[in-house]
Amino acid sequence: MDTFNHLIGMAQEWLFESLIQPVLFKLGFASVLEDAYDATLWLIAGILQIAVLICVIGPLQRWRPVEPVTDRREVRLDILYTLIHRLGVFRVVLFFAIDPFWDSIFGELHIWGLSTLQLDNLWPGVTDNALVSLAIYLVVFDLVEYLYHRAQHNIEWMWALHAVHHSQRQMTMWSDNRNHLLDDVLHDVVIVIVSQLIGVPPAQFVAVVVILQLVESFSHANLRLGFGRLGERLIVGPRFHREHHGIAYETTPTGKVVGSNYAVIFPIWDILFRTARFDGDFGPTGIADQLPEAGGRDYGRTFLAQQWLGLKRLVASRPRLVRRRSRRAAA
């Protein structure tokens, strides 16, 4: 672990000094060098993830595909989403737009004497071991991801944005990052707050995010693979997660949203909260109202169209929420 961290650190320093830093100096952005150095680590993490997608998960898809890829335009769009997120473009925006705000907030809390929980110090000599603390953080963040994901399906305005993700009917390993950008910002705000509250070190935080994202890429893969009766109850795989995307079980937000298999890594959360389905059969994916017999709703065929339509759905959801509050108040 220490050797791996050392190699990553060397790569970060080399990339920053040989490429990033000279460009920033030339453009007159010397004041952001510290943040840019942190962003370089995310760029390296993204490059490694893309390499795993192409060299490991890609061959698996070709080995046992669930279905032939017939809509390559949609897949190319998912690749664009993936490059934006995994190669640091989205992360860099957050660094300069949001992270300084949170740093100032938590800095003020420390000044007031309000300390955060340090999970890796709960059991000195055990939880402060790098691998043990990483495992703890993965469990905590996986629970957070489960709760957030379930909220995305059961809170109408959140579903308005999250529907971008579920509108993909040609699922592949690239589909995980097909999200509305506002949805990603809100998600990352929650993750940053949790990481600050439990005291996740920066390097561990990057490792947690990378592991979560790689597992999600694998679980979205066009791969006919299950882990058996026991294995599917221990870790999320393509069969388990494809059931979550199944068009037969997804509905539009009409007050009652049907969903299952929300977990990212550990199905235990779905088991505990009774949202698990283990009878998936690799059926078609998408949203019910995309079907011609349900009206053939358009969720956009381009990046800009998907982002715009997501915003329109979000705005349209507000009057319904206001009307519901009014009815409750009248009652």
Please give the model's pTM, rounded to 2 decimal places. 0.86
**What does each of the 331 residues of the chain score in pLDDT, given as a tens digit?**
567 667 777 887 888 778 878 877 887 777 767 777 777 888 888 999 999 999 999 999 999 999 999 999 999 999 999 998 888 665 655 555 555 555 666 666 555 655 566 777 676 776 678 888 889 999 999 999 999 999 999 999 999 999 999 999 999 999 999 999 999 989 988 888 888 888 888 888 888 999 999 999 999 999 999 898 899 999 999 999 999 999 875 444 444 445 799 999 999 999 999 999 998 889 999 998 898 887 889 999 999 999 999 999 999 986 554 444 444 444 4
Task: List, in order, residues 6 or more apart from 109 with CB less than 8 Å away.
Answer: 116
